[in-house]
Amino acid sequence: MHAHAHTSPLQLGGVRSACEYCALFELCWPRGLDASNLQRLQSMVRHTDVLPCGSHLFRVGDEFTAIYAVRSGCIKSYTVDRGGHEFVHGFHLRGEMLGFDAVYPDRHCCNALILESCSLCVIPYRDITRLSQDVPSMQRQLIRVMSHEFATQLRNRGGYGATQRVAAFLVNICSRLRQPDSTTDVFRLPMSREDIASYLSISPETLSRLLAKLHGLGLVDVDRRNVRLVDVTGLDQIAQGIH
């Protein structure tokens, strides 16, 4: 890891409740796994110290060694073309996974930059695939998790018009930022407007104009990175192309 993260064995006491909202939960606490294989799985999982903002978890071309689940913070995956233009592919928040971009080529195809200091759970990919060969239900679950991550990326980029994409992004990102059992509709975005615009394939100027439009419709209030969803239903209807 470029962040030079120290990892230590996952301490199980008191961790389960924190893991229930994580994408790795079904892998780390699978139903029906016998005690010996569960112990094997749990022994594979490591968690990092807090990694600082601005450091890279991995870069394009790095060898693929593990899959990661975000315990806290935010990570941006992106690439840069030959002209130096950056393209944001995703934002990875608490309970979400990254690293699957490298499963086929065995080398990472994107960079992973820490936008907000974070901690991670790390599972060496060779270990988890070896265990999944011994436990067919684990193999199916691993494929399901991978498929879910790709489907989520496609869904988050959905919407044909720019206004739809911005509305869909706001609804989606705020639902992902919301803490478990919280009902708040006020959030602070960990990413910049430039990053959001790149992710939505629009210019920063277009993003600002569309945020002002949504504000004028009484759907959202935005003050720099602070967002308040005023009318979630109305915003979701725009995201779905109903209005």
Beta carbons within 10 angstroms of residue 10's beta carbon: 17
Of 29-38, 83-92, 105-114, 174-183, the least confident: 29-38
Give residue 15's pLDDT.
Answer: 44
Q: What is the CA radius of gyration of the chain?
A: 19
Give residue 13's pLDDT.
Answer: 42
Mean pLDDT along residues 38-50: 85
Of 18-22, 75-79, 123-127, 152-156, the least confident: 152-156
Whether 2 shows a pLDDT value over 70: the answer reads: no
Confidence of residue 9 (pLDDT cuts 50, 70, 90): very low
Whether 154 shows a pLDDT value over 80: the answer reads: no
Provide the CATH topology of domain 7-156.
Answer: Jelly Rolls (2.60.120)
Whether 79 shows a pLDDT value over 50: the answer reads: yes
| Amino acid at position 211, single letter | L
Nearest to 94 by CA among 126, 118, 111, 130: 118
Nearest to 123 by CA among 104, 140, 138, 105: 138
Give residue 131's pLDDT.
Answer: 83
Better-predicted residue by pLDDT, 212 or 127: 212
Give residue 14's pLDDT.
Answer: 40
Give residue 63's pLDDT.
Answer: 95
Q: What is the pLDDT of residues 92-144, one digit of tens each?
A: 999 888 998 898 889 999 999 999 999 999 989 888 888 888 887 777 777 77
pLDDT above 70 covers a percentage of the chain that reads 84
Better-predicted residue by pLDDT, 215 or 28: 215
Give ranges for CATH 1.10.10.10 in the chain: 162-239
Nearest to 90 by CA among 17, 153, 160: 153
Give ranges for CATH 2.60.120.10 in the chain: 7-156
- In sequence order, what are the residues at sequence separation of 6 or more whose Cβ sits closer than 8 angstroms to the Cβ of residue 90? 76, 77, 98, 153, 156, 199
Give residue 11's pLDDT.
Answer: 45
Better-predicted residue by pLDDT, 105 or 183: 105
The answer as to CATH 2.102.10.10 being correct for domain 162-239 is no
The secondary structure of the chain as a DSSP string is -TT---EEEPP-TTTHHHHTTSTTHHHHS-TT--HHHHHHHHHH-EEE-PBPTT-EEE-TTPBP-EEEEEEEEEEEEEEE-TTS-EEEEEEE-TT-EE-GGGTTTSB-SSEEEEEEEEEEEEEEHHHHHHHHHH-HHHHHHHHHHHHHHHHHHHHHT--SSHHHHHHHHHHHHHHHHSPTT----EEE-SS-HHHHHHHTTS-HHHHHHHHHHHHHTTSEEEETTEEEES-HHHHHHHHTT--
Q: What is the pLDDT of residues 54-74, one digit of tens each?
A: 999 999 999 999 999 899 999
Better-predicted residue by pLDDT, 178 or 9: 178
Give residue 133's pLDDT.
Answer: 83
- Record the tokens describing residue 97, joined without a space: 């996974």
